[in-house]
Amino acid sequence: MVSSFEDPSIQDIKLDLRKYPEIRKALKSKKPLVVNDALKDPLMKPVREKIKPLGIQSIAVIPIIHRDEVIGTLFLRTSKTGMSFTEREIKLCNAIANASSNALYNAYLFERLENEKTRLEKLAITDYLTGVYNIRYFYNRLDEEFSRAIRYEIPISCIMLDIDRFKRINDNYGHRAGDLVLRQFAQLIRRHTRKSDVFARYGGEEFIILLPQTGVDGARTEAERLQKYIREYSFKNIEEKITSSMGIACWPTHNIETSDDLITLADHALYRAKAMGRNRVVVSRRIRKQAPRK
């Protein structure tokens, strides 16, 4: 073993094979390779000056082969002067390499399957065009967060937003340009939302943000901040500036009994924002009536 790391955060360490002519040759030949004197062997001439300060004396590279395919190497070095790998040691290393080939290949297959599983899970909850969460995932999270808000009596808000005059963008620049604008818009919003917020595409040019543990004032501040980013952003493929209208609803401030009410009131507030001239934030008017004190 040359070196080891036990830090789990260090992953995918890559070797520059241009610095390892001995490994390249072993990979090509699929046979064990031994360099008895690293500073004199012609194979090591391109890297001789680099390895000289390391005091390397001899090197052994044993290919790990699975079904005639090299899937790795067992790579050893010695630094003791006059010491080289014996034939017995090479046979032992070769036996270790052969024994480890199945385990390494199975580990590779397992990692590949896990990566594919992660990719498919992500596809199931992601909108294909914009890359943000889809509405199915949003509804699942909405039920969870709304139930938590009711149980612990903490506020929860919803922002419904869309792109103003999006049809005009499609008409003037084409639907392909419109799709690119939608994607840029979604990615811009996602970059500027909190990790605790749930941002999803609702449909068409409409998007929705769930803000757990956030009251009306916090939601309004968040919406106005996002509007500023949208107004200042230069969208590619179109010449005009883009604005967004937003509607806000909040439990327990507004007359909300179910999670669906939260979306409905935010949608109504968005409609009012559009009717009032667009490019503005409107909060729901349906305030919850306080029970009279006894």
| Residues tagged active-site | 205
Residue 82, SS3? coil
Quick check: 181 and 242 in contact, CB under 8 A?
A: yes
Alpha carbons 166 and 160: distance in angstroms, whole number: 16
Residue with tokens 């080939």: 101
Q: Is 5 left (phi over 0), alpha (psi -120 to 50) or beta?
A: beta
| Of residues 227, 196, 214, the one with CA closest to residue 253 | 214
Q: Which amino acid is at 5?
A: F
Phi, psi of 128 (to 5 degrees): -65, -30
Name the percent of the chain in helix, strand, coil, to the closest 5: 50, 20, 30
| Cα angle 206-249-290, degrees, rounded to a multiple of 5 | 165
